[in-house]
Structure 1
Amino acid sequence: MAEHRRLQRAALLDAARVLLTEGGMEALTFPALAARTGLARSSVYEYFRSRAHVVEQLCEADFPLWAAEIEAGMAARDGAPSRLEAYVRGQLELAGDPRHRAIVALSALELDEAARARIRAAHEGLVGLVVEALDELGHQRPQLVAALLQGVVEAAVKRSEGRSSEERALIADAAVALALHGLAGSATPVTSAAAVAAAECSGSNRA
C-alpha cells in the first residue's frame, strides 16, 4: 500500500509539472490532475490539500536539483566576480527551463506561513552558495548582501516571464551588471546602449 501511494504521488507530481509547463498555474487544477493520472478527483485530495500544496511539494523535490546545478556552474568558474555571474545567469537560465516551472510558479501563489518558512529555508541554502564569493570581494555583511542579490535575481526572473530570448538575454545582462557594479554601472557595459534602450522601450510597452 505504501509503495502504491508513493507511485501515485509521483505520478501526480509528474502530471503537475506537465500542466505547469503547458499552461502555467491556470492549468494546474485538481480536475486536470485527475484526468492526467486517471484518478478520481476526490483521490487527488488524499495527496494534496490545495494547488499551493502541490507546488510546495514540487519545490521540495526539485529545489535541491536547482541548487545543485547552480553550485556546479559556480564551481566551474575562477574568481569571485565570475562565480557571481554564474550565480545570476544560472538561476535565470533555470527559471526559463520548463522542468523548473514549479519553482518559478511560487511567486504567483498565496502560501500559508508554514509553507513560506520551508521555502525561505530552501532559498537560504541557495543564497549560501554566493556568500563566500561576496566575502572574497570584501563585503562586510556578505549574508545580507547575498539576500539582497537574490532579490535582484527574483525580480529579473519575474521581468523575464513571457519575453523573447533576446529580451531575456538583455535582462540577464542587466542583472549581472547590477550584481557586479551596482547602480553606478560599469565602464565596460555588458550590452550596447541601443540594446538597453530597446529593452526599456519594450518593457514600457508591456507595462
Structure 2
Amino acid sequence: MPRIQAPTVAEHRARQRRAILDAARAHLAEEGRAPSLAQVGARAGLARSSVYDYFDSRDDLLAAVVADVFPDWAGQVTGSMEAADTPGGQVWAYVEANLTLFAGSEQAVARALTSVVDPSLLAEPVSRFHQSLQEPLVAALEAHGEAQPQLVADIIDSMVVRVSRDIWEPAPGTAPSTLTTCLELLERLLKPYLLPAGSRAS
C-alpha cells in the first residue's frame, strides 16, 4: 500500500489561511458586513486565537480578502474567454462570465467590501482588476476586426453593468431580473455582431 505523506507545515498553513479567507468571503456574502475574527474562526472551524496566527486584526483580514477576490474574479472571466474558439466567442464569454459574477454571491461580497473597506484600500485592486479584464477584451475585439476596440469595450462594459443592475437593484415595484433574462437581452443585442450565424445558438 502506498504511503500517505503528511502535509508539510507550509501546506497546513496555506490550507488554514485559505479556509479563513473563504469563511470571511462567505460571511460578507451572507451578512453584508465585516466579520469579527471570532466569527471567521467559528465558520472555518478554528479557534479565534488561531486566526490571529494569520491576521493581526479585522482590517488586516479584510485587506487580505481584497487581495484575494479580485484576481480570483479576473481569473474566472479570463479563463472563460480563453476557452472560446473565436474572438467573437471570447467577447461573448466575457459578457457571460461577468454577468454570472454579478448574479451570484460574489456580487454580494463586492457590495459588502465597498461598504466596509476604506476606499483607498480598494482603489488600486479595482484598477488592476479592471485593467486585467480590459486588455483581453480589447484584444479580442481587435482580433474580431473592430476598428474602435476600446470604445466598443467600454460600451459592452456599460451594457453589462446596466443590465446586471436589475438583478440587484431593480426599479421600485419591479421584480429582480434573473441571470437568464439578462443574458437573453444581451444575446439579442450582441450575438449578431459577435458570432457567425451558425454559432448563435446558446
TM-score under structure 2 normalisation?
Answer: 0.63
CA distance in 2, matches of 1:47, 1:152: 39
Percent identity between the aligned chains?
A: 23
1:77/1:35 Cα in 2 relative to 1: closer, same or farther (>3 Å)? closer
Residue matched to 1:120: 127
Whether 1:57 aligns to 2:67 is: no
- Kept after mapping to 2: 8 A contact 1:128/1:146: no
1:71 paired with 2:78, answer: yes
Distance in 2 between residues matched to 1:179 and 1:139, nearest whole Å: 16
1:38 aligns with 2:47: yes
More helix per residue: 1
Cα distance, 1:38 vs structure 2: 2.6
- Partners of 2:88 and 2:191 lie apart in 1 by 7
| Structure 1 residue 14 corresponds to structure 2 residue 52 | no
Partner residue of 2:58?
48
Residue 70 of structure 2 contacts residue 125 of structure 2 at CA under 8 Å; is this kept in 1? no
CA contact (8 A) 2:103 2:179 kept: no
Instruction: State the Cα RMSD in Å.
Output: 3.9
Q: CA deviation at 1:104?
A: 5.7
Distance 1:159 1:122 in 2: 23
Q: Does the aligned pair in 1 maintain the 2:23–2:40 contact within 8 Å?
A: yes
- The answer to whether the Cα contact below 8 Å between 2:166 and 2:176 also exists between their aligned partners in 1 is no
Structure 2, gaps ≥5 residues long: 1-8, 194-199
Alignment of 1:1-207 (within 5 A): 9-21=17-29, 23-26=30-33, 28-30=34-36, 32-36=39-43, 37-39=46-48, 43=52, 46-49=56-59, 54=62, 56-98=63-105, 101-103=108-110, 105-106=112-113, 108=115, 111-135=118-142, 136-140=144-148, 142-161=149-168, 167-179=178-190
Residues 159-202 of structure 1: CA distance to partner in whole angstroms, max 9, x if unpaired? Answer: 223899973211122234445579xxxxxxx9xxxxxxxxxxxx
Give distance in 2, aligned partners of 1:69 and 1:103: 15
Q: Which TM-score applies when normalising by structure 1? A: 0.62
| In 2, Cα distance between equivalents of 1:81 and 1:10 | 36
Name the CA shift for 1:133/1:15 in 2 (closer, same or farther; >3 Å).
same
Q: Which runs of 5+ in 1 are unaligned?
A: 183-189, 191-207
Is contact 1:92–1:153 with CA below 8 Å preserved after alignment?
A: yes
| Count of matched residue positions in the alignment of Structure 1 and Structure 2 | 176
Once residues 75 and 109 of structure 1 are traced to their aligned partners in structure 2, the CA distance between those partners, rounded to angstroms, is: 33
Is the radius of gyration larger for structure 1 or structure 2?
2
**Greater RCO, 1 or 2 (C-alpha within 8 Å, sep 6+):** 2
